[in-house]
Amino acid sequence: MSDLPRKAVTRTAKLAALPLGFAGRATLGLGKRIGGRPAEIVATELQQRTAEQLFKVLGELKGGAMKFGQAMSVFEAALPEEVAGPYRAALTKLQDAAPPMPARTVHKVLAQRMGPDWRTSFVEFDDAPAAAASIGQVHRAVWQDGREVAVKIQYPGAGEALLTDLAQLGRVARLFGPLIPGMDMKPLIAELRARVSEELDYDLEAQAQGLHAEEFADDPDFFVPAVVHQTDQVLVTEWMDGVPLAEVISGGSREERDRAGQLLARFLFAGPSRTGLLHADPHPGNFRLLVDDGPPEGWRLGVMDFGTVDRLPEGLPEPIGTALRLTLEGDAGAVLELLRREGFVKPTIELEPDAVLDYLLPIVEPADVDEFSFNRAWMRTQAARIADPRSPAHTLGKQLNLPPAYLLIHRVTLSTIGVLCQLDARVRLREELLDWLPCFADEEEGEPGQWQEASQEEEHQPEPEAPVV
């Protein structure tokens, strides 16, 4: 495998060829149908070939192309089954693997970033990568103190590649629209571009991962590998075994699916409350189920890759919990008023409160029951309802606005729901919301969640004295 293509013209040419490839296969398919081949068989063949070319290009380029492919892969559950089938295998490949860097490039980066004697830091170092993703790949090694570690090495030229790819993908975003019904690809690509600098900064990633590792040390539900060493473009952390979430999705037991789903939902809401950070890359390649930790109720969720986080020092915004509670209570007027106040409805847009409620209620159904079965059928129903131009939900959805402060939270939540549906998991989501989502619980609903308890303790604290000036 050659090094990461660094020249913009090379990468742009590969991505620019995708529309031509789509058009060529469409012409080929037309010819086969004219020749008498059944339309369904021809369509399936074309979908398979399209998937193979699309994700082969994205995987080879890594960079922004790979990042975009990973972001799309979590929404695979929204595709109709007749379309999802040919794409599923190709999408899954992007979640935990990509063509690797040559060993000579790996050694060069380590010598540049850790010094020419970099090998003395390791008792062992495996030249074959254990995993390869969008901007870096991971090697298994043994640190000088005997700990098994994961060595994450950034691809040379990754920053330039990210920007080049995402700019080009923005110009052909319409090609990917049919893959995810009801989702506008341009904002997704724009948001990925906005996160480029953070994704490339391993110092920021080390800080975020270190904070999570400290907070969740000895936690019964989660494991985050500690940071061992960090330099520019190289990040060394403790090694983590476990069953990759992609394997749980493809062949996990009912116990594995349900436990993984429950913990994934818990981490989505508990993480910001406990650390002030939202892990913003929830594709399956970033999670492991630690099934060696006793019986199913003792299995933990291992979390990695903190290159993209949303900084929420106060936890998730209170209006999210308030809007969710008011929606479930059926208070249409209050919901619309809150959405206007937060910028989800622009001042010039007139909407009927009941229409807004009808739009939201099917989406928030999982929060209204003690246990909800997330599955592909439910997600496809929601996607089809919003994507169908004849649907009132489609018309109303086009009138809503997504404020910048909520953009990443929205994408992470939607992505997590996509993974829960891939898992086919039964999840007690309401329980997690009551415990961790500010303002979701009202005063009459059972015991307060952990965030409420902390809040009540603060309310009973005496007022601090004014500082002496």
**The pTM of the whole model exceeds 0.85:** no
Average pLDDT over residues 219-225: 97
The pLDDT of residue 363: 93
Q: Tell me phi and psi for residue 177, to 5 degrees.
A: -50, -50
Structure tokens at 2: 């050659």
Contacts of 31 (CB under 8 A, 6+ apart): none
The H helix count followed by the E strand count for the chain is 19, 13
Helical ranges in 94-157 per DSSP H: 103-114
- The answer to whether 219 touches 267, Cβ cutoff 8 Å, is no
Q: How confident is the model at residue 31 (pLDDT cuts 50, 70, 90)?
A: very low
Q: Which of 95-104, 131-140, 212-221, 366-375 has the lowest mean pLDDT?
A: 95-104
What percentage of the chain reaches a pLDDT higher than 70?
Answer: 69
* Separation between Cα atoms, residue 39 and residue 220, nearest integer Å: 53
Relative orientation angle of helices 353-360 and 392-399, to the nearest 10 degrees: 110
The partner residues of 129 in beta bridges, in order of sequence, read: 139
Read off the pLDDT of residues 84-104 as tens digits, 9 standing for 90 and up: 665 555 555 554 445 678 899
pLDDT at 346 over 70: yes
Q: How confident is the model at residue 200 (pLDDT cuts 50, 70, 90)?
A: confident
Q: Which of 51-60, 211-220, 405-414 has the lowest mean pLDDT?
A: 51-60
Q: How confident is the model at residue 187 (pLDDT cuts 50, 70, 90)?
A: confident
The pLDDT of residue 461: 42
Q: How confident is the model at residue 217 (pLDDT cuts 50, 70, 90)?
A: very high
DSSP 141: E
Average pLDDT over residues 190-207: 84
* Separation between Cα atoms, residue 266 and residue 424, nearest integer Å: 16
* Separation between Cα atoms, residue 5 and residue 104, nearest integer Å: 15
* Separation between Cα atoms, residue 145 and residue 367, nearest integer Å: 47
What percentage of the chain reaches a pLDDT higher than 90?
Answer: 52
Collapse the DSSP code of 67 into the 3-class scheme (helix H, G, I; strand E, B; otherwise coil) and give the result. Answer: helix
- The answer to whether 105 touches 3, Cβ cutoff 8 Å, is yes
Average pLDDT over residues 22-48: 47
Rg (CA), the chain: 23
CA atoms within 13 A on the CB side of 67: 31
Q: Which of 50-54, 108-112, 339-343 has the lowest mean pLDDT?
A: 50-54
- The answer to whether 390 touches 396, Cβ cutoff 8 Å, is no
Helical ranges in 174-253 per DSSP H: 185-194, 196-200, 202-215, 245-251
The pLDDT of residue 27: 40
pLDDT at 359 over 60: yes
Higher pLDDT, 21 or 276: 276
Structure tokens at 208: 């975020």
Q: Which of 34-43, 292-301, 378-387, 413-422 has the lowest mean pLDDT?
A: 34-43
Higher pLDDT, 45 or 351: 351
Across the chain, mean pLDDT equals 80
* Separation between Cα atoms, residue 137 and residue 130, nearest integer Å: 8
